[in-house]
């Protein structure tokens, strides 16, 4: 293969999530309004539970709406509506790939279709994807960033280098990625966005997927952010921990 073909194959692999054999649905959403929302990467499956201003829940890479089952249940108990969806290429949604800009477009489309959205809660990859949506005009009153990396693309390319992909292929893949989505978004840094949105940043010290210093940097640079550092909750469990959920519900409600 030519250098460009190798680089394009690397990009495609990096942006293609692995799906579960069977899609999952958060238990509280079994009785929710469901919808298929058009996005640039295909239709995404989305659900709204409750009336009025809602909390939009954005899951992370290779995850799905089921992550939010405890949070949706807690919000419904106090009468706060929830909107959840599966990112492109995840769960019940169409698509094969899910680059950050496509994820951001899906967030914006779901917010338009199933709003009004009062607050957004994100996990992992959902954080920088939501940051890109904020750049595009998405404007929730409050935001919660759980285990958020400062950016997604750096991990793709660094990981490829560590796995022995030739440096020239990785370098060309970076160039193609920047050409595809624009240089500003290719080098996106969630901390540098410094959004004025009232924000709660939550991270666990033992997160083995995203170093907690990512959350600390985001909270330090966002003018209206509070940083909550936990321990013993890892990368995914933190989004379903009872104490964390209580803190989130208090913040968004």
pLDDT digits (tens, 9 = 90+) for 205-232: 999 999 999 999 999 999 999 999 999 9
What average pLDDT does range 52-76 have in this prediction?
Answer: 98
Q: What is the rounded CA–CA span in Å between residue 220 and residue 192?
A: 10
Closest CA relative to residue 217, chosen from 182, 239, 190: 190
pLDDT surpasses 90 at 156? no
Grouping H, G, I as helix, E, B as strand and the rest as coil, residue 109 is helix
Picking from 242, 228, 71, 56, the residue whose alpha carbon sits closest to that of residue 142 is: 56
Report pLDDT digits (tens) over 183-199: 677 778 999 999 999 99
Domain segments of the chain as ranges? 3-16+27-252
Q: Cα separation of 147 and 153, whole Å?
A: 16
Q: Terminal CA-to-CA distance of the chain, rounded, Å?
A: 54
Q: What is the DSSP string of 141-193?
A: SEEEEES--S-SHHHHHHHHHHTT--HHHHHHHHHHHHHHH-HHHHT--HHHH
Q: What integer pLDDT is reported at residue 185 of this predicted model?
A: 77
Please tell me which residue, 40 or 177, carries the higher pLDDT value: 40
Task: Work out the average pLDDT over 92-106.
Answer: 95
Using only C-alpha atoms, what is the Rg of the chain? 18
Mean pLDDT of the chain: 93
Q: What pLDDT was estimated at residue 174?
A: 83
Q: How confident is the model at residue 153 (pLDDT cuts 50, 70, 90)?
A: low
Q: Would the CA dihedral through 127, 194, 201, 79 be positive or negative? A: negative
Can you state the angle between helices 167-181 and 153-162, rounded to 10 degrees?
Answer: 160
pLDDT at 164: 80
For residue 175, what pLDDT is reported?
83
Q: What is the pLDDT, as a whole number, of residue 214?
A: 96
Residue 140 scores a pLDDT above 80: yes
* Nearest one of 115, 106, 71 to 85, comparing CA atoms: 106
pLDDT of residue 39: 97
Which token pair is 81?
Answer: 């509506």
CATH fold group of domain 3-16+27-252: Rossmann fold (3.40.50)
List CB contacts of 211: < 8 A, sequence separation 6 or more: none
CB neighbours of residue 232 within 10 Å: 10
**Mean pLDDT to the nearest integer, 56-85:** 98
Residues 246, 240: Cα–Cα separation, whole Å: 10
Q: How confident is the model at residue 98 (pLDDT cuts 50, 70, 90)?
A: very high
């Amino acid at each position: 293969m030519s250098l460009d073909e190798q680089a394009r194959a690397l990009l495609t692999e990096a942006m293609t999530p692995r799906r579960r054999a069977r899609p999952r649905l958060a238990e509280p959403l079994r009785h929710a309004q469901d919808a298929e929302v058009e996005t640039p990467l295909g239709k995404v499956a989305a659900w709204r539970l409750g009336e009025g201003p809602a909390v939009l829940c954005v899951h992370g890479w290779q995850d799905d709406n089921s992550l939010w089952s405890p949070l949706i249940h807690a919000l419904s108990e106090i009468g706060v509506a929830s909107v959840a969806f599966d990112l492109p290429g995840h769960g019940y949604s169409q698509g094969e790939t899910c680059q950050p800009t496509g994820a951001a477009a899906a967030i914006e489309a779901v917010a338009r279709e199933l709003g009004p959205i009062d607050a957004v809660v994100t996990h992992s990859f959902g954080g920088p994807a939501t940051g890109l949506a904020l750049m595009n005009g998405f404007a929730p009153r409050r935001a919660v960033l759980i285990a958020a990396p400062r950016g997604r693309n750096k991990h793709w390319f660094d990981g490829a280098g560590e796995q022995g992909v030739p440096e020239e292929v990785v370098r060309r893949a970076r160039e193609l990625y920047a050409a595809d989505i624009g240089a500003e978004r290719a080098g996106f840094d969630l901390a540098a966005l410094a959004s004025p949105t009232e924000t709660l940043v939550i991270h666990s010290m033992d997160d083995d997927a995203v170093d907690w210093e990512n959350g600390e940097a985001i909270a330090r640079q966002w003018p209206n952010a509070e940083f909550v550092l936990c321990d013993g909750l890892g990368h995914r469990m933190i989004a379903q921990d009872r104490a964390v959920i209580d803190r989130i519900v208090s913040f968004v409600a």
